[in-house]
Amino acid sequence: MKITIVIARFLLGLVFLTFGLNGFLHFIPATLPSGTAGQFVGALFVSNYLVVVFLLQLVGAILLLTNRYVPLALTLLAPIIVNILLFHVLMALNGLALALVVTVLWIVVFLSVRSAFAGLFQQRIAA
């Protein structure tokens, strides 16, 4: 099981490193999607919102690949993954498979460090 966790962490880090760097270096050719998805991506690009997203992807990826602050990396990447999933479910189904793979990888890594998140799942705390 430990090997599975290391592989999942490494793959998750590689995916976000690749796509985070691609946001700045543009080495993966892509065209703007059509329809609502294209308008959405266009608005994100014009507003420079994607710069922050790509930076967060890079920081999370480096933390995962170096095996440092893994819970922090997962915390940074979780909202990005949710947005990726929602984008592909609601606007562009063609990338949904990779989004689901990334989600499964995130869950595997999360389960390995879930004790770091134990305080978040307390129903009540003593006053």
Q: Could you state, in order of their start, the residue ranges of all structural domains in the chain? A: 2-117
CA dist., res. 27 & res. 100, Å (int): 23
Predicted pLDDT of residue 80: 98
How much is the pLDDT for 30?
86
pTM above 0.95, yes or no: no
Locate tokens 């995916």: which residue? 15
The pLDDT of residue 127 is: 76
Per-residue pLDDT of the chain (127 residues), as tens digits, is: 899 999 999 999 999 999 999 999 999 998 888 899 999 999 999 999 999 999 999 999 999 999 999 999 999 999 999 999 999 999 999 989 999 999 999 999 999 999 999 888 888 887 7
pLDDT the model gives residue 62: 98
What's residue 87's pLDDT?
96
The per-residue pLDDT for 106 is 98
The single residue listed with the structure tokens 């065209």 is 31
Question: In this predicted structure, what is the pLDDT of residue 55?
Answer: 98
